Amino acid sequence: MTDGKRSWAGGRLAGLLDLEVPIVQGPFGGGLSSVVLASAVSEGGGLGSYGAHLLTPDGIGGLVGELRKATARPFAVNLWVPHPDEAAVPPDRDRMARYTALLRPWFEELGLPMDQLEEPPPAPHFAEQIDALLAAGPPVISFVMGVPEARVLDEARRRGIRTVGTATTVDEALAIEAAGMDAVVASGSDAGGHRGSFLRPVNESLVGTFSLVPQVARAVSIPVIAAGGIADGRGVAAALTLGADGVQIGTGFLATDESGASALHRAALHGPDARTTVLTRAFSGRLARAIPNRFTREALAYEDRLAPYPLQYALTRPLRTAAAARGLADYVNLWSGQAAALTRPLSARAYLGELIADTGSALRRPAPGDV
């Protein structure tokens, strides 16, 4: 271990997950994860992650096999715990007509046929996904949006799989610890992508990262991973100083060469528009943080009438796909956290190396007034 790592890279999280540095790459859904990114982070000593919530059970088994071939180091696979209302009866014809009518102007503007807005097929079933993932046996399984049932965590423990939950409030962190999970991600409202609140409404769970982390660290005994608005070594150092055992970085790794983000998305992350982000339901029906564009601004007036998740996400897929193919950033979900402006075009290994070096420097820097 280099001198730059020696003072901070050990600790509970690194020991728990067998890491050289307590840096976790945030998992991305919707095709934004990649095996090459996750393996690059794991090979660099951190924990690479892959968001698998849209994969079929067979796809999940194949994914774990690919990750094992790509790296001998620990890695994580992430799933979403479904909310009870997501299993509700599909909307009737009248409600579907209202949902699709709201999207008609944008479809017509891009010349997309409205018959693409027929009711989409059901999403993969969580129980089947988690059974496939447990059978595949990745080193770490992480969860967002809730706490899985006890039998899932019992089976993971029996198989020697570490489990990590995601909390947006102190109460959620306590629920994750009480369920017997091994570590908790304290995900502040600064984070990009979908908000994972599950005990209270999202608008009552928007706690900033550097307010949330010390409260969670004081409340629970399991390792705490800070997430949201962390993109450089100064942010890592700040999180560790506030009591975190490690950090999870999403947008910073999303902006690297190996991520599954499109060139359009990466350009936005590195551009001046990334200085501003918004919370929007326009793309998926669930609140998520993104770089604002024409679609988020125009849909704001209708957000209370949009289809719920996951229906809205499926209904907007043709729009998003066509816009991405044509290079039209105004209709693409540009997920981003609030620190995207700190990112630069880099490979994942180069970025991880900068994080390690800069964290060591920040922690060694004397405080103002020290001599």
Percent of the chain's residues with pLDDT above 70: 94
The answer to whether 226 and 337 have CB atoms below 8 angstroms apart is no
| Least confident piece of the model among 63-67, 89-93, 163-167, 322-326 | 89-93
- Cα distance between the two ends of the chain: 28
Band the pLDDT of 370: cuts 50, 70, 90. low
| Least confident piece of the model among 80-89, 168-177, 180-189 | 80-89
Q: What is the C-alpha separation between 278 and 289, in angstroms, rounded?
A: 5
- Indicate the DSSP class of residue 238: H
- What is the Cβ-side half-sphere exposure of residue 26, based on CA atoms within 13 angstroms? 31
**Order of strands, sheet of 288-290, starting from the edge strand that comes earlier in the sequence:** 193-194, 288-290, 278-280
| Least confident piece of the model among 118-127, 137-146, 180-189 | 118-127
Q: Is 231 helix (H, G, I), strand (E, B) or coil?
A: coil
Q: What is the pLDDT of residue 30?
A: 84
Quote the radius of gyration of the chain (alpha carbons, Å): 20
- Taking residue 206's Cβ as centre, other Cβ atoms within 10 Å add up to 17
Q: What is the C-alpha separation between 120 and 76, in angstroms, rounded?
A: 29
* pLDDT (tens digit per residue) in 124-137: 789 999 999 999 99
Q: Give this prediction's pTM.
A: 0.94
Band the pLDDT of 186: cuts 50, 70, 90. very high
**Residue whose structure tokens are 């964290």:** 359
Percent of the chain's residues with pLDDT above 90: 86
Mean pLDDT within 169-186: 98
> Which ranges of 21-70 does DSSP label H, i.e. alpha helix?
35-43, 57-70
Q: What is the pLDDT of residue 116?
A: 65
Mean pLDDT within 183-193: 98
Q: Is the pLDDT of residue 1 over 50?
A: no
* pLDDT (tens digit per residue) in 58-100: 999 999 999 999 999 999 999 999 987 776 657 788 888 999 9
